[in-house]
A and B are shown apart, each in its own frame.
Chain A
Amino acid sequence: MERHIPLPMLILAVLGFAFMLMPILVVVMAGLTAGEFLTFPPQGLSLRWVAAFLQSDKYLSSFFFSFRLAVMTMIVATILGTAAALFLSRTGMIGRGAMRAFFLSPVVLPGVVIGFALFAFFIATDMGISRTIWGLWIGHILYSTPYVIGTVGAALASYDTSLEEAARSLGASPWRAFRKVTLPNISQGIQAGSIFAFIVSFGQFEVSLFLSSPNSEPLPIAMYNSLRYQFEPSAAAAGIFAITLVTASVLLTNRLVNIRRLLERQQAGG
């Protein structure tokens, strides 16, 4: 049956999409300009600033720095976040509601606060990691783990615990029951959470601002620093690459998940 969307709703939806896509459009167009300056609309189209980005040590190294940091963050945030979500969903402890709120608080806590707090902490304790990738890594993990807790928590909320109980009474130890039954059934939530962690870390600005140094600059900081001094379109070109990477990672994981489902279907079909 065909679904009819009321016209006003349709118009609002289209406007909403346009509004959300506008910044991306602006960045992509500005990065493809043929002119000397960052302008919109662009003055003619060319790949010269894309080429400039690819030849710039500064941008390329910060791009890969961000990528490495995001992957490292994703790994730790996924493990910590999954464990925390499991704990929150299983514990019968009093005050678990408060604990959930606490674990999720970095989502609502401004990044500035986390960044500043960590900065002050690293300096005060003189740990020697205040302006290194390790310090940044800790900040990013703090900032992105709640996203994993959120998605895995949602997956666990719709997970039927009697599956795990069935596994236990069929002879599986708690760990085997988790690995063979629970994990596969919440893997979609874990995958979604890890993509979130990656993207959140890759685009992170405020936490990074406090914790990075000129020789370990994530891409957003590098873009910001260069725009402060020269208004040149290679920053927009860097933006194009960032957008491409994020979009690709979303599509890729989406694809992976679907491929797995497809395989299952094929096996099932015979």
Chain B
Amino acid sequence: MSYVEFQGISKQFGETLAVEDLDISIAQGEFFSLLGPSGCGKSTTLRMLAGFVTPTTGQIHVHGRDITRLPPEARDIGIVFQNYAIFPHMTVYDNIAFGLVERNMTKRDIRRKVEAALEQVGMSGYERRFERELSGGQKQRVALARVLVIEPEILLLDEPLSALDKKMREEMKFWIKEIQRSVGITTIYVTHDQSEALTMSDRIAVMEGGRVLQVGTPVEIYEYPASRFVAEFIGESNLLSGRVQEVTDGRCEIDLGPAAVPAQAPSGAPLSEGSEVALLIRPEMIRLHKVSEDEAPMLEGRIAEEVYQGSLRRYQVETAGQKLTVEVANRPDLPLRSAGEAVALYWNTESGVVVR
């Protein structure tokens, strides 16, 4: 049963079609991410749900109720902005109390709730600070407390980590996810960072140019991308162009030019023989060996470049007229390869995914 439902939502700003014919349904308690490059319409989608932007066409339902034309204050949806939007003329206490005051609660109840919220986000003792006296991470916590304290039906987060440094970002990623899980609140998270989306989400909608390209769990999105764009946007990818040669139940043969390799056929409409496709192989799925006669490799190639990256080594391998990226864990039992060396490339047939 879907809790939040976008039905045929479009938004036009003058000439720009920011969001086009969007259909998404989100379950209660789900952590749902909108992922896509800058300008793809993520924020616009979020802002339509929050009530700051009115859709040009379509409806939004929450819990079966049509909220498309309700003003923001009537929606019971909390939002954390990219810049946190902490009220600079109020203390942390008054910021968090804001929504409670608007709900005409008694001073005692407000105090109790604000204190609990501060405790929840680990900011007890900061009641009397002002925004300018807080670090980025602290602002983030206050912004989240200010929203959670009113116990909204839905939590919206618009790139909440992008203003933080890398280390802080890693930390907050898990922290936000933990809070979300403990509160159990339906959450919609906007980001252009695929690793954030992959680690935090229950499901992800990948957007581009105002459209949703694919909706799925992180595993589905990463392992079975529905298009080249999704494959390239999520994680590192090798996309080899080829031609479908032979299709037998679940398996197919892709002709890459110098060689043909077996691959897993995609779900959905069956492949037609002779059609142009891409074969996706993630860099960590490829194993490098010495060229030998024992087992026929998928491809043979030559190391063009080697880059040391601490926990792993990354090789560029020239093969089938293209360059493949291969990542190998930096372990003593895995031999080093140097530029110019001839290598054999292996991967499991299931690791080669056909992308239309």
- Tell me whether A166 and B87 are in contact in the complex, defined as CB-CB below 8 angstroms, given that A171-B102, A173-B73 are known contacts: yes
Residues of A contacting B75 with CB < 8 Å? 169
Q: 1/0 per residue B17-59: CB within 8 Å of A?
A: 0000000000000000000000000000000001110000000
Tell me the bound Cα distance from A270 to B129 in angstroms.
9
B78 and A169 within 8 A (CB) = yes
Q: Is B128 in the interface zone, CB < 8 Å from A?
A: yes
Query: Smallest CB-CB separation from A171: which chain B residue?
Result: B102
B68 CB, nearest partner CB in chain A, Å: 16
A171 and B85 within 8 A (CB) = no
Judged by DSSP, the binding face of A is helix
**In the complex, which of the residues A169, A174, A180, A184 has the most CB atoms of chain B within 10 Å of its own CB atom?**
A169
A268 and B133 within 8 A (CB) = yes
Residues of B contacting A173 with CB < 8 Å? 73
Q: Is A162 in the interface zone, CB < 8 Å from B?
A: yes
Residues of B contacting A125 with CB < 8 Å? none
B206 CB, nearest partner CB in chain A, Å: 26
**In the complex, which of the residues A167, A171, A174, A181 has the most CB atoms of chain B within 10 Å of its own CB atom?**
A171
Tell me the bound Cα distance from A169 to B89 in angstroms.
18
A168 and B128 within 8 A (CB) = no
Query: Smallest CB-CB separation from B133: which chain A residue?
Result: A268
Tell me the bound Cα distance from A184 to B133 in angstroms.
19
- Tell me whether A268 and B129 are in contact in the complex, defined as CB-CB below 8 angstroms, given that A163-B85, A168-B71 are known contacts: yes
Residues of B contacting A162 with CB < 8 Å? 81, 83, 85
Tell me the bound Cα distance from A103 to B128 in angstroms.
42
Query: Smallest CB-CB separation from A167: which chain B residue?
Result: B98
B105 CB, nearest partner CB in chain A, Å: 11
Residues of B contacting A166 with CB < 8 Å? 79, 81, 85, 87, 146
Q: Is A26 in the interface zone, CB < 8 Å from B?
A: no
B129 and A169 within 8 A (CB) = no
B98 and A268 within 8 A (CB) = no
Tell me the bound Cα distance from A49 to B198 in angstroms.
83
Give the contact-size bracket for chain A. 20 to 34
B91 and A172 within 8 A (CB) = no
Residues of A contacting B50 with CB < 8 Å? 165, 169
- Of B102, B128, B146, the residue contacting A176 (CB under 8 A) is B102
Q: Is A160 in the interface zone, CB < 8 Å from B?
A: yes
- Tell me whether A169 and B79 are in contact in the complex, defined as CB-CB below 8 angstroms, given that A163-B85, A264-B130, A268-B91 are known contacts: yes
Residues of A contacting B99 with CB < 8 Å? 170-171
Tell me the bound Cα distance from A233 to B79 in angstroms.
66
A261 CB, nearest partner CB in chain B, Å: 10
Q: Is A213 in the interface zone, CB < 8 Å from B?
A: no
- Tell me whether A160 and B129 are in contact in the complex, defined as CB-CB below 8 angstroms, given that A168-B71, A168-B73, A171-B99 are known contacts: no
Q: Is B150 in the interface zone, CB < 8 Å from A?
A: yes
Q: 1/0 per residue A141-172: CB within 8 Å of B?
A: 00000000000000000001011011111111
The A170-200 residues at the B interface (CB cut-off 8 A) are 170-174, 176-177, 180-181, 184-185
Query: Smallest CB-CB separation from B104: which chain A residue?
Result: A171
Tell me the bound Cα distance from A58 to B92 in angstroms.
56
A170 and B146 within 8 A (CB) = yes
B315 CB, nearest partner CB in chain A, Å: 45
Q: Is B166 in the interface zone, CB < 8 Å from A?
A: no
Q: Is A55 in the interface zone, CB < 8 Å from B?
A: no
- Of B87, B103, B128, the residue contacting A181 (CB under 8 A) is B87
A172 and B102 within 8 A (CB) = yes
Residues of B contacting A180 with CB < 8 Å? 98
B116 CB, nearest partner CB in chain A, Å: 17
B28 CB, nearest partner CB in chain A, Å: 20
Some 17 contacts from A to B, beta carbons below 8 A apart, are A162-B83, A162-B85, A166-B85, A166-B87, A167-B98, A168-B52, A168-B73, A169-B51, A169-B72, A169-B79, A170-B78, A170-B99, A172-B73, A172-B98, A174-B71, A177-B73, A268-B129
Extra contacts, 16 of them, besides A169-B52, A169-B75, A170-B78 (Cβ < 8 A), are: A163-B85, A163-B87, A163-B88, A166-B85, A167-B87, A168-B51, A169-B50, A170-B99, A171-B103, A177-B73, A185-B89, A264-B89, A267-B91, A267-B128, A268-B130, A270-B128
Q: Which 7 A-B pairs have the closest CB atoms?
A: A170-B99, A171-B102, A168-B72, A166-B85, A162-B85, A184-B89, A169-B72
